[in-house]
Structure 1
Amino acid sequence: FGLSYAKNGELLKYIRKIGSFDETCTRFYTAEIVSALEYLHGKGIIHRDLKPENILLNEDMHIQITDFGTAKVLSADSRQARANSFVGTAQYVSPELLTEKSACKSSDLWALGCIIYQLVAGLPPFRAGNEYLIFQKIIKLEYDFPEKFFPKAKDLVEKLLVLDATNRLGCEEMGGYGPLKAHPFFESIVWENLHLQTPPKLTAYLPAMSEDDEDCYGNYDNLLSQFGCMQVSGSASSHSLSAPETSTPQTSGGNIEQYIHDLDNNSFELDLQFSEDEKRLLLAKQAGGNPWHQFVENNLILKMGPVDKRKGLFARRRQLLLTEGPHLYYVDPVNKVLKGEIPWSLELRPEAKNFKTFFVHTPNRTYYLMDPSGNAHKWCKKIHEVWRHRYHQNAAK
């Protein structure tokens, strides 16, 4: 047998890439999932493992549901409307699967509620350190909505994430799919020809986190246009940022303080015009007195400072460390734990959206960062300066 080709891959890839869908995108893709579930349930099929990884996008960006390996087909003459086996993925399993070890059509509606939440917020509603703790949260219906969650989408999620499977909007006991499709969140949806409509362009939404911030929207059709005119090349190996031997002689190594610009106790940046000898002195000074040195693999820190790293509608404070190499590390400043690294490549692009908010675009994900001091442009300038040293100079050789 053959399978249709889903050229644009998993929905999860786009959630990870842009973090939080805007309301138009959320509405359209939720409507397509609802239409697909209505069809499946009409055929007596329970999917039982509905999640963003199992929702694919074809060439035209319409959805295709996949992975029916754990699906259950209810026979037409069977009175049993449930499947009695434990299947599914922790973040999306329904409470009845945990308490009664059985799934029904309404279990797919629970998963739909989880997916809508994730499209808007960027993360699933039930999150914890392990599956057992996730299951406990599901059984207790223990989840919260972040601020700025679309009100109509919130109401819909609340009507789907209901512990009693017979009280979920869209289930047979609640009148079937008619009441679900009539929910106010779908008021602008034309259901009859949804599969023929042109899907909206995927657009990220970053609502302001405080009154003095502003909302940000990002269109991802032209991610790489900012520096598209540059013709550069270079390998992925590490690269020294010290001045070349043929450059103008540098000031003596004893005066390295001239390169350091302190912004506050946890923030500074370096000028990049130091010599190799001065670099060694700067690194020795860093190793002897900078508490963040332990996280950067003995690389010289070129700029550092606190940022709020956002994923969807959630934000966490991180210490961002731009180093030679180049590298962009981010550290939990409270627990002093390295949380990750923004992958550096030729395609990496910084983009300032306003005084506080800046993006770092990478091929597989866009990182949303907020500088509480309002110097987003300085981060972008320094990142691009390091990018130029790393790739543009190589191209000139």
Structure 2
Amino acid sequence: KKSTAILREKKCLHTLTTAETSPFFIQLLCTFQDDERLFFVMNFAKNGELLSLINNREVFDENCSRFYSAEILLALEHLHRLGIVHRDLKPENILLNERMHIQVTDFGSALILSDRESGGEQVSSAPNPMASTGDDQNHRQRRNSFVGTAHYVSPEMLNNKLSSEASDLWAFACILYQMICGSTPFKAANEYLIFQKIINLEYEFTDEFSDSAKSLIRNILQKNASERLGANDDVQRDGYISIKSDPFFAPLATMWSQIHEMTPPVSDAFTNTTLNENHTKSVSENVEPGLAEKQITRIMGLALHEDYDKSAANPKQGILDIPAPEMIKRLETQRKSNEYHKFVDDQLILKQGIIEKKKGLFARKRMFLLTTGPHLYYVDTVNMVLKGQVPFSKDMRPEAKNFRNFFIHTPNRSYILEDTTGNAPEWCRVVEEVRDHTYGPPSDESPPNTNPRICNSNVSLRKISINNKKIR
């Protein structure tokens, strides 16, 4: 299944790059592989995710919402003309280039309509997605069309019906709602309640919405996919003409073909300071820019150069190099002041932080606690309940996908994790250090991979493990 998703994403990116191109998508520059991993080299979106811009309410007004929703709509037109349904459209998957224009990314969940029509997209029966969602439940078999993210998933995808272009239009309306008021239309304490609200169309407008914005969103957020505004447009001939001609987009009526050349309505001060400052903070200080031989070597986890950064591989003081008196003092302080001490069996917490732990469709915020022992516990911060731990062993292998997303591979399971603060490489580094201190480095890693396998350059390089299966 993982290999199928990788091939699907590669096919989508290749189509978007080689067909009549659109400026609103990340471009696949090339691919290469080693024995275990496939690497995607893509253009670098300098200004990060659209979500960061949306969250800055001082600059994101209705005019800004109109501009960026127009770019998203043009992107969907192009995508749907190529016969591709994204199925996981959300602000985190919409990046901003150096000119602050959007570039849609992440096609791992996409549906290529020609594959479904030819029988290449397998459909299987699935239980109701609103069933039990506990951390320890068995992985459920899911229908191919049931993908996406809880806040943006359409009713037909929850009801186990085939997704279509109209599913992306639903997500588009949810994003427009979020751009205007700062939060998604369907909000609840957990995914089950969110799904209930989606099925029942339970959402409200705040005072920030104009009448035209309310009307457009209502006309798209229809339970029946065929009744959504734009669902019956001839996209190949006219694009999403019914949406583009809606009163909400009246100020852009004569500008649709020039939008990609326009200056986005975002202040220069915000662009040059806030976004770039956030981006700089997310980049490891030890990562040298570029894709020269040395950088490629580091990214692939090899050690072919004499100038390998030994100081990074062998830090002067490791996380576990704690003198006994200091250990006692830190434990005493932890017992008194750290509310998570009760979950760690009186072990010293070496690193802790909120991580989104993903399983299937769902992502849950957990407090991860790396301790002596070693142990890696995770706690439900709402109910203050220990949910489990990632088992340590000499075969444990952390893998940074980028600055936010990472995996921890164990012999029986791979944990899919996201650190929204951009410190995924640091988590991988300390987990590897504790593993190596306890068990010694794995036999297949020489020297230890303490540098993050990502690069800071004018291109973005994405690595995908493929479990010893070569993909061409």
TM-score by length of 2: 0.42
Structure with greater Cα Rg: 1
TM-score by length of 1: 0.49
